[in-house]
Structure 1
Amino acid sequence: MGKRKFDPFIIVGLSISITAMFVAILLHGMPLTTYVDIAAFLIAIVAPFGAAFVSVPFEYIKDLPNVFKVIFSSEDVDYSELIETLVTTAEKARREGLLSLENDIQDIAEPFLRKAIQLIIDGTDPEIVKHIMINDMEQMELRHLLHKKFFDEWGYYGPALGMAGALVGLIAALSGAEDRAAVTHGVAIAFIATLYAVFMSNAIVLPMATRLDMKNQKDILIKTLMLEGVLSIQAGDNPTLTREKLISFLPPKVKEEIAAKKEEVGSK
């Protein structure tokens, strides 16, 4: 597994969205303070955040600091290196037997792969190994999906509660119909709340949910490669067959990169 590092591109994307909004406001010749309203902020941004808390169990909510770290980071995975590690392990297992892998198991940093290899060393039936490891993958995916659901719900409730903010503003405007300033302020709250909610949901929150979904798909692919590799090792497959089997799971672009790397090594 690659090392997780800060991804500057998410800051670039957020900066573009926010800057575009500010520039659009300034182009209309209005001061930014015109668009600042605490009441609208509370209704359109804080309230949807609280509503999202209600929709997801607390055990997943308390992971939010780590989830934000995941959102703002990226992980470079060398699929070629992972596959070659599994192929090398397959070669050793065929040559020296599965028990020979016990000496190497402590050097495996990835807990999922270490657990799978330990199971085959212990002589666990292949179907049971597959069942146990798929259960682990499903629990990982459930955790990831619930984290994503928090952001989905936050983004979903935002525009709806933004409309509630609009109603609050209109009620304030109508209740002070005799006071022109009160009417103006009430209408401003109505539109500002809607603006806050729509922008927050569509420019910030929902893109974060999409980012979490992509990371989940990547993690599933990595775990699938590990599981299929271990099952192939246990079955005593030819290492070349193991390599081709694992490569078949990869997206076309990654396959091309691996093929290019193989040609580069072969030409030396």
Structure 2
Amino acid sequence: MDKISITGIILGLSAILLGQFLEGGSISSLIQVTAFLIVIGGTVGAVMLQTRPRHFLAGLQMLKWIFIPPKHDFQRLLTVLINWGQQARRGGLLALEAYIKGEKDPYVRRALQMVVDGAEPDSIRKALELEVDAFDLQARTSARIWESAGGYSPTFGILGAVMGLIHVMENLSDPSKLGAGIAVAFVATIYGVGVANLLFLPIANKLKVIIQREVSYREMLMDGMVSIANGENPRLLENRLAGYLQH
């Protein structure tokens, strides 16, 4: 569980609501169903219009990464690669065949299978690089829906405010309704700017970091498997892959 994400959301919302309370405003005045429908409904519609269905659904599924990010232990991977390198030097590449079925990650299984099959190191690198690039493109395209939402929602907030002001102008004959009507109109702007800067854009930026970590993990595995296929000394392998431990 990523506690800092939860803490950030709670802190941001609390600051907004506390500020409204300290200014003497009513928190209930910020709850406007119409403004919510205009901003969120319009934003979702715009994002769906520009996105392919599979990318839209994948982007929604990636939301869970904000609170439960994928776990990748780079130190453990380094230990595993060194062990595989030692096994391959002692018993040959076929000695790694016993590890294939025990791996749950399809990417790891394919890498092991290519090494065991005796594929050329350059061929292994090219095949794994293509898979890493495909994952990176797919993940970043899917995560971009949150960045797009952060761009559209403030505009729909302004749209909601304008629609509210139009309604106010239609009731100029009743001055008692003007103040409340204007206040309600600008709640849409608060929604649009608020969800963009407190939710959508931070989510998009955090997903970029998580995706980069995923890519680095795969690149570390790729470099390790190519080194094993080349028969590289495990100690040299350890020194070369140590840089990945900074992620």
TM over 0.5: yes
- Residue 109 in 1 paired to residue 97 in 2? no
Contact 2:164 2:182 in 1 (8 A): yes
- Note the C-alpha offset of 1:74: 2.9
Q: What TM-score comes out, normalization by structure 2 length?
A: 0.93
1:29-108 to 2 correspondence within 5 Å? 29-64=24-59, 66-108=61-103
Q: Which residue of 2 aligns with 1:257?
A: none
Per the TM alignment, residue 34 of structure 1 is displaced from its structure 2 partner at its CA by 1.8
CA gap 1:201/1:65 in 2 versus in 1, 3 angstroms: closer
Aligned mates of 2:236, 2:101 — CA distance in 1: 26
Aligned to 1:132: 127
Equivalent-residue separation in structure 2 for 1:76 and 1:140 (angstroms): 17
Q: Which runs of 5+ in 1 are unaligned?
A: 1-5, 255-268
* 222, 240, 248: which one aligns with 2:217: 222
Q: Structure 2 counterpart of 1:60, which letter?
A: H
Q: Which residue of 2 aligns with 1:14?
A: 9
SS at match of 2:69: strand
State how far apart, in whole Å, the 2-side matches of 1:181 and 1:140 are: 58
Q: Which residue of 2 aligns with 1:118?
A: 113
Provide the residue aligned with 2:18 in structure 1.
23
Match of 1:233 in 2: 228
Q: Does 1:210 align with 2:210?
A: no
State, as a whole percentage, how many aligned pairs show the same letter. Answer: 28
Contact 1:156 1:201 in 2 (8 A): yes
**TM, length-normalised to structure 1:** 0.86
CA apart distance, 1:167: 1.3
Checking the alignment, whether the CA contact within 8 Å between 1:52 and 1:154 is kept in structure 2 is yes
Give the paired residue count: 247
1:160 and 2:142 are equivalent in the alignment: no
Mapped to 2, the partners of 1:161 and 1:247 lie a distance apart of: 48
Q: 1:130-189 CA distances to partner (integer Å, 9 max, x unpaired)?
A: 121111111211221122111001111011111111211222222222222443344223
1:65 Cα deviation from its structure 2 partner: 5.1
Instruction: Name 1:264's counterpart in structure 2.
Output: none
Gaps of 5+ in 2: none
In structure 2, the partner of 1:262 is: none
Instruction: Pick one of 175, 179, 182 that aligns with 1:184.
Output: 179
Q: Partners of 2:181 and 2:131 in 1: how far apart?
A: 53
The amino acid that maps onto 2:212 is: Q
Superposed displacement of residue 195, structure 1: 0.7
1:176 & 1:83 partners in 2: Cα distance?
Answer: 70
Shift of 1:201: 0.7
Q: Structure 1 residues 192-201 or 110-119, which shifts more?
A: 110-119
